């Protein structure tokens, strides 16, 4: 048989040829995407896309680089929501006063993403649109009940987090569309949050990660939201554990019992880092730890 050998076998780490487009507004970007068609890829930091290109695992005809679209950067408050531009870098998220005050879990998780060089280039919107289940931010967005604002030729639409992550590396963003904003609810001081990431070296992807948001009323947990990283093809909510936590006291075994439910209904993958049973075990252990840390952070 004849093998159509690509550069991957050669391993030259040089991407195939592509056109490079650098629009300066969202509407221009949408126009460019429409013009190039399905073979266009959006470059939003490139920390995942460029390796794919270099390994010749992707052959886009054009890259539409959003780095020049200023309106996609920055964080603002809109009523009881924070609105985060899709091209806001991880580095900016880490230092943004609004995020640190109202959505600290986003910063807590972002701090664990790769290394400073990657965090200066990589963007929140890029990470969410890439939807790698091992990425830290999708599970956080899910736990935050974020809303995703998507713009396309037909205008803007908003998709809730529960509908955004549709499958492995797939989202509700359609052909010709762009993720432009991420809207997250501003959490008050009664909420405590934590992100527990388990990986083998500091720069690595999560084997399992757990984002926990806890709203306290005195010594009980009034409400908890738990997002799971890398426990399936998409980020997941630990719904059974969340349900078990409502009204639980901080001082008996309630958190431990609820954490024991964290891996319910998950089907994590087997890979070099972990087998499924170990991932499920880690999800339970990390959920307990994240919940305790989150509860301690709430006032």
Partner 1 sequence: MTEQLDAGFVAEQIAEHPEQLDAPTAERSIGQPLRRKEDRRLITGRTRWTDNITLPGLLHMAILRSPIAHARINSVDVRPALERPGVIAAFSAADLGEELGVLPCAWPVTPDMVHPDHHPLATDEVRHVGEAVAVVVARDRYAAADALEAIEIDYEPLPAVTDMEEALKDEVLVHSDKGTNKSFLWPFDSGDYDAARAEAEAGGGVVLRRRYIQQRLVPAAMEPRAVVVEPLTEGDEYTVYTSTQIPHVLRLMLALTVGMPEHRLRVVAPDVGGGFGSKLDVYAEEVISLIVARKLGRPVKWTESRSENFQATIHGRDQIQDIEIAATRDGKILGLSVDLKADMGAYLQLVTPGVPVLGAFMYNSIYKMDALRFRCTGVFTTKTPTDAYRGAGRPEATYAIERIMTELAHELDIEPMELRRKNWIRHEEFPYTTIAGLTYDSGNYEAATARALELFGYDELRAEQQARRDRDDPVQLGIGISTFTEMCGLAPSRVLGSLSYGAGGWEAATIRMLPTGKVEVVTGTTPHGQGHVTSWSQIASDALGVPFDDINVIHGDTRSSPQGMDTYGSRSLVVGGVAVHLAAQKVVEKARRVAAHLLEAAEGDVEFHAGTFSVKGSPDARTTIQDVALATFAAHNLPDGMEPTINADAVLDPENFSYPHGTHLCAVEVDTETGRPTIRKYVAVDDVGTVINPLIVEGQVHGGLAQGIAQALYEEAVHDADGNLVTGTMVDYLIPAAPDLPDFITDRTETPATSNPLGVKGVGEAGTIASTPAVVGAVVDAIRHLGVTDIRMPCTPERVWRAIHSGGDGGVPAASGTIAWGGPQTATTAGGAA
Closest approach, Cβ 272 to partner 1, in A, equals: 6
Structure tokens at 200: 């083998």
The number of beta carbons lying within 10 Å of the beta carbon of residue 205 is 18
Q: With contact defined as beta carbons under 8 Å apart, do 21 and 35 qualify?
A: no
Closest approach, Cβ 289 to partner 1, in A, equals: 9
Residues 49-68 that bind partner 1 (CB under 8 A): 51, 55
User: Contact between 20 and partner 1 (CB under 8 A)?
Assistant: no
Q: Which of 10, 70, 153, 253 binds partner 1 (CB under 8 A)?
A: 10
Taking CB under 8 A as the binding criterion, the range among 99-107, 162-170, 198-206, 245-253 that sits at the site for partner 1 is: 198-206
User: Contact between 17 and partner 1 (CB under 8 A)?
Assistant: yes
Task: Give whichever of 201 and 252 is closer to partner 1, judged by the CB atom.
Answer: 201
In this structure, the strands spanning 40-43 and 62-65 are parallel
Taking CB under 8 A as the binding criterion, the range among 7-15, 156-164, 185-193, 255-263 that sits at the site for partner 1 is: 7-15
The per-residue b/e assignment along 269-297, b for 16 or more CB within 10 angstroms, e otherwise, is: beeebbebeebbebbbbbbbbbbbbbbeb
Residue with tokens 């736990």: 143
Q: Which of 14, 243, 246, 296 binds partner 1 (CB under 8 A)?
A: 14
Structure tokens at 7: 């550069």
Residues 22-51 that bind partner 1 (CB under 8 A): 51
The number of CA neighbours under 13 Å toward the Cβ of 135 is 27
Structure tokens at 227: 């997002």
Q: With contact defined as beta carbons under 8 Å apart, do 56 and 71 qualify?
A: no
Distance CA 6, CA 58 (A): 11
Distance CA 27, CA 82 (A): 23
Q: With contact defined as beta carbons under 8 Å apart, do 212 and 194 qualify?
A: yes
User: Contact between 2 and partner 1 (CB under 8 A)?
Assistant: yes
Residues 236-275 that bind partner 1 (CB under 8 A): 270, 272-275
Binding mask 201-240 for partner 1 (x = CB under 8 A): xxxxx-----------------------------------
Ramachandran angles phi, psi of 258, nearest 5°: -65, -40
Q: Which residues contact 83 (CB under 8 A, 6 or more apart)?
A: 75, 76, 77, 181, 182, 183
Q: Which of 172, 186, 285, 293 binds partner 1 (CB under 8 A)?
A: 285
The number of beta carbons lying within 10 Å of the beta carbon of residue 150 is 21
Q: Which of 282, 290, 297, 298 binds partner 1 (CB under 8 A)?
A: 282
Residues 105-134 that bind partner 1 (CB under 8 A): 115
Task: Give whichever of 18 and 165 is closer to partner 1, judged by the CB atom.
Answer: 18
Taking CB under 8 A as the binding criterion, the range among 1-9, 174-182, 183-191, 259-267 that sits at the site for partner 1 is: 1-9
Task: Give whichever of 17 and 299 is closer to partner 1, judged by the CB atom.
Answer: 17
Residues 135-194 that bind partner 1 (CB under 8 A): none
- Interface residue list for partner 1 (CB under 8 A): 1-14, 16-17, 51, 55, 115, 198, 200-205, 270, 272-275, 277-278, 281-282, 285-286
């Amino acid at each position: 048989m004849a093998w159509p050998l690509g550069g991957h076998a050669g391993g030259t780490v040089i991407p195939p040829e592509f056109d490079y487009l650098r629009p300066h507004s969202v509407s221009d970007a949408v126009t460019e995407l429409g013009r190039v068609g399905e073979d266009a890829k959006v470059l939003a930091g490139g920390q995942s896309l460029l390796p794919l290109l270099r390994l010749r695992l992707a052959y886009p005809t054009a890259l539409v680089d959003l780095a020049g679209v200023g309106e996609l950067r920055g964080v603002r408050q809109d009523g009881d929501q924070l609105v985060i531009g899709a091209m806001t870098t991880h580095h900016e998220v880490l230092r943004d006063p609004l995020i640190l005050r109202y959505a600290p879990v986003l910063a807590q998780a972002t701090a664990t993403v790769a290394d400073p060089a990657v965090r200066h280039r990589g963007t929140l919107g890029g990470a969410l649109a890439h939807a790698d289940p091992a990425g830290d931010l999708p599970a956080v967005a899910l736990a935050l009940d974020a809303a995703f604002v998507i713009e396309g030729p037909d205008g803007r639409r908003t998709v809730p987090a529960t509908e955004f992550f549709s499958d492995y590396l797939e989202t509700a963003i359609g052909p010709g569309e762009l993720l432009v904003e991420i809207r997250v609810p501003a959490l008050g001081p009664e909420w405590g949050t934590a992100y527990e990431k388990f990986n083998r070296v500091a720069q690595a992807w999560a084997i399992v990660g757990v984002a926990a948001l806890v709203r306290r009323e005195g010594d009980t947990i009034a409400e908890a939201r738990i997002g799971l990283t890398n426990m399936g093809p998409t980020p997941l909510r630990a719904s059974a554990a969340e349900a078990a936590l409502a009204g639980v006291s901080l001082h008996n075994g309630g958190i431990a019992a609820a954490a024991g439910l964290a891996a319910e209904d998950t089907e994590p993958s087997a890979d070099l880092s972990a087998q499924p049973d170990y991932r499920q075990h880690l999800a339970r252990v990390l959920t307990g730890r994240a919940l305790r840390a989150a509860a301690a952070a709430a006032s």
